[in-house]
Structure 1
């Protein structure tokens, strides 16, 4: 499988982690051939940290492990999709369930807004907290 992938000039490929149960996109990271092989060998997600220039096992220090259920690559071979079970319910380094908390052009609230930070408005008592599609981001 690794031979079918197209890595960038730094030897990396984009990797998307998606909840295998409800298809929520949890995070985006980078992988190299070593992290892909470790992921395949252990069934737990391993990524390449560009800022620290080393391999990291997701959850090794905080126990928020990503158990890999399925692994796909796209038709171009330049993106990997990991369907995962997120153990510990935190996928993002800020402590959030997902790193995708900024909603671009959220027209239901205000057509003049360019970007909304969902981490500040997703509460059960707010209008946005009652929108079913946004409730998944909170749960």
Structure 2
């Protein structure tokens, strides 16, 4: 079985698994990181999003063999060593942008990815970035407001 050396949340991790194992399974099953969620398994909902070199990516269809030396960030990796939430995470709390939690990981990771490339997006750009994330309970208005709040705090 192949061995992979991964850079996850700033730490080096070693994983032995098959080349086609999805990163979602590697993160959850091997590394016990529960931020990314299994939603649909076909990259249609965004609940499994992680950041690969700062860009939001669906981990459910991303095989470990395609990672190479990329920097992987999960929801857990957004907090500081002292447990302080990232600006986006804090804004989601402040704006009460979560309800059932199904979409939360994907929405936060997508927002962080967006703000890393566009630190001052307008509402249309925020909505466009979030299009690939499903929210079952309809907290879209609060989610958009949370991202606007995060922009102000950055």
Q: Would the TM-score normalized by the shorter structure come out above 0.5?
A: no
Instruction: Give the number of the structure whose residues are more often strand, by fraction.
Output: 1
Which is higher, the Rg of structure 1 or of structure 2? 1
Q: TM-score, normalised by structure 2?
A: 0.24
